[in-house]
A = this chain, B = another copy of it.
Amino acid sequence: MKKEYCGLFGIYGHEEAARMTYFGLYALQHRGQESAGIVTWDGEKLREQRGMGLVADVFEEQHLGHQLKGDVAIGHIRYSTTGASLIRNAQPFMVRYKGMHMAVAHNGNLVNTMEMRRELESTGSLFQTTMDSEIIMHLIAKYLNGSTIEDAVAKACREIKGAFSLLLQIDNKLIAIRDPWGFRPLALGRVGTSYVLASETCAFDLLEAEYMRCVRPGEMLVVEEGGLHSIQYAEPAMSASCAFELIYFARPDSIVFDEEVYAARKRMGAILAREAPVKADYVMPFPDSGMYAAVGYSQESGLPYENAMIRNHYVGRTFIQPTQGMRDFAARVKLNPVKSMIKGKKIVIVEDSIVRGTTIKTRVKSLREMGAKEIHMRVSCPPIKHPCYYGIDFSSKGELIAANHAIFDIAKFIGLDSLHYLSIDGLKQALGRNDGYCLACFDGAYPVLPGQGCGKMCLECTDE
């Protein structure tokens, strides 16, 4: 199954549009580290710079100061779970059609890709990539004959199914879209006289932009000379915002879906403390993932909070192979426990999720060897039992430990004295709204099902 994480940023009417987009993407870097791209409109045509790697690696001063001219820009960062990382799949994706210049940046995953593609091929469309974005562009082009841009985009967006937050640049128009379910976030803001759009508000903070509101499910915002107008291109479906953005994926200083991430994570920890209290010496996270829920757990339970696992801040992605016999090296090099804090202690560890459990098992074993008396784990979300079709990468169902094993067995596998997951009700309570979230990875209730062809399509896609 092909999955992508992505971050989007767009700006309209700023003389340093490319530079602002660069910093917007910089703030969103946690949403994708594989490729980055910026497209600007210079008044006559689109200009682009895309590349593999981090934002800081892909762009140089000459790109921002010289090449990417124009006061409108959209940017994209991407992480793909498919084996090969290809520059041709870096976004924004650009085409020309009948003198128009069009670019798209897409966050999310469509579920009717295969049907769409077959249909388009039957009328002569030729595909150069396996990206959903290319399908969207072909659809828009198809509907552009005799339609306004807005109508063509609306028609195209009504045909595709699944998760899509989009930024489109069509000549000098900047268009922002969220799918009718509202799976992926997209926020609108303002800096000076310019409008900005971003996956998360932490990008606004860096640019000293003011957060206005979310783009709404089924809404299309068109920014052009003369201002901004909103078109409800489709009825909002039952709201299905991705709970995992709040649990794990978004930055804790962001607002997504109009919810404060930091506060939501503390609530998850607090509710977890009520659902599964434990007598222990202290609470700690494995940094950075559980840091905010752990604070919530500590405050609700009254147990002291400790930072007793120390990060090596210089661990990069690669290092040389360790000496034979150095066990569990990759785990240990990143986090080292403070020995004196472990020996003889009863410890509660708050984590934000367990996917396969193998790294956690290694860390727990290491704590045991240092003499921990009791180790209890509290997880700030329910067990993940089902794959996500909308753009979050859990390994395939076979690898999700909670899909196949009872909690008791997981605790045993990891070597814990006790293990508790936040309940689905607890999560709903923490999320702040009782309805409106997609919890399919926990409960299997998919808001929109993938098309029949999807399985086959995905096989084809992943072979890239």
Q: A456 CB to closest chain B CB, in angstroms? A: 11
With A262-B340, A314-B56, A332-B206 given, is the CB distance from A321 to B291 under 8 Å?
A: no
> A207–B142 Cα gap in the complex (Å)?
48
- Point out the residues of chain B lying under 8 angstroms from A452, CB to CB: none
- Point out the residues of chain B lying under 8 angstroms from A60, CB to CB: 320
A59 and chain B: residue at smallest CB distance: B320
With A94-B128, A253-B339 given, is the CB distance from A326 to B208 under 8 Å?
A: yes
Q: Indicate the member of A26, A263, A327 with the most B CB atoms within 10 Å.
A: A26
Q: 8 Å CB contacts to B: which residues of A385-401?
A: none
> A205–B87 Cα gap in the complex (Å)?
34
A93 and chain B: residue at smallest CB distance: B128
Chain B CB within 8 A of A323 CB: yes
- Point out the residues of chain B lying under 8 angstroms from A55, CB to CB: 314
Chain B CB within 8 A of A64 CB: yes
- Selected contact of A307 from candidates B123, B295, B339, CB within 8 Å: B295
- Point out the residues of chain B lying under 8 angstroms from A26, CB to CB: 312, 314, 319, 333
| In contact, A295 and B305 (Cβ under 8 angstroms) | yes
- Point out the residues of chain B lying under 8 angstroms from A291, CB to CB: 307
With A126-B95, A299-B304, A312-B27 given, is the CB distance from A319 to B56 under 8 Å?
A: yes
Q: Indicate the member of A138, A339, A463 with the most B CB atoms within 10 Å.
A: A339
Q: A444 CB to closest chain B CB, in angstroms? A: 33
A14 and chain B: residue at smallest CB distance: B323
> A26–B314 Cα gap in the complex (Å)?
8
Q: A93 CB to closest chain B CB, in angstroms? A: 8
| In contact, B205 and A313 (Cβ under 8 angstroms) | no
With A253-B310, A310-B251, A326-B208 given, is the CB distance from A127 to B30 under 8 Å?
A: no
Kindly specify which of A15-23, A176-184, A353-361, A407-415 makes contact with the partner chain.
Answer: A15-23
Q: A114 CB to closest chain B CB, in angstroms? A: 12
With A126-B138, A336-B202 given, is the CB distance from A30 to B262 under 8 Å?
A: no
With A126-B137, A252-B310, A295-B307 given, is the CB distance from A320 to B263 under 8 Å?
A: no
Chain B CB within 8 A of A5 CB: no
What are the interface flags for A291-329 relative to B under an 8 Å C-beta threshold, 1 for contact and 0 otherwise?
A: 110010011000011111011111010111111101100
- Point out the residues of chain B lying under 8 angstroms from A340, CB to CB: 260, 262-263
Chain B CB within 8 A of A54 CB: yes
With A30-B314, A310-B253 given, is the CB distance from A205 to B336 under 8 Å?
A: yes
- Point out the residues of chain B lying under 8 angstroms from A316, CB to CB: 54, 56
Chain B CB within 8 A of A45 CB: yes
A294 and chain B: residue at smallest CB distance: B307
| In contact, A141 and B128 (Cβ under 8 angstroms) | no
- Selected contact of A339 from candidates B141, B205, B314, CB within 8 Å: B205
A22 and chain B: residue at smallest CB distance: B320
- Point out the residues of chain B lying under 8 angstroms from A202, CB to CB: 310, 336
Q: 8 Å CB contacts to B: which residues of A1-44?
A: 16, 19-20, 22-23, 26-27, 29-30, 33, 44
| In contact, A125 and B123 (Cβ under 8 angstroms) | no
Q: Indicate the member of A22, A121, A262, A321 with the most B CB atoms within 10 Å.
A: A262
Chain B CB within 8 A of A349 CB: no
> A125–B205 Cα gap in the complex (Å)?
42
Q: A217 CB to closest chain B CB, in angstroms? A: 24
| In contact, A322 and B54 (Cβ under 8 angstroms) | no
Chain B CB within 8 A of A226 CB: no
Q: List 19 A-B contacts (CB under 8 A).
A: A19-B320, A27-B333, A56-B316, A87-B87, A95-B126, A98-B122, A123-B124, A124-B142, A128-B128, A202-B310, A206-B336, A251-B310, A253-B336, A263-B340, A263-B341, A292-B307, A295-B307, A298-B305, A299-B304
Residues of chain A whose beta carbon lies under 8 Å from any beta carbon of chain B: 16, 19-20, 22-23, 26-27, 29-30, 33, 44-45, 54-56, 59-61, 64, 87-88, 94-98, 121-128, 137-138, 141-142, 145, 202, 205-208, 251-253, 260, 262-263, 288, 291-292, 295, 298-299, 304-308, 310-314, 316, 318-324, 326-327, 332-333, 336-341, 463
With contacts A20-B323, A87-B87 known, what are 16 further pairs, Cβ within 8 A?
Answer: A27-B312, A27-B333, A27-B336, A56-B316, A59-B320, A61-B321, A64-B320, A95-B127, A95-B128, A97-B126, A126-B137, A128-B128, A252-B338, A253-B336, A291-B307, A295-B306
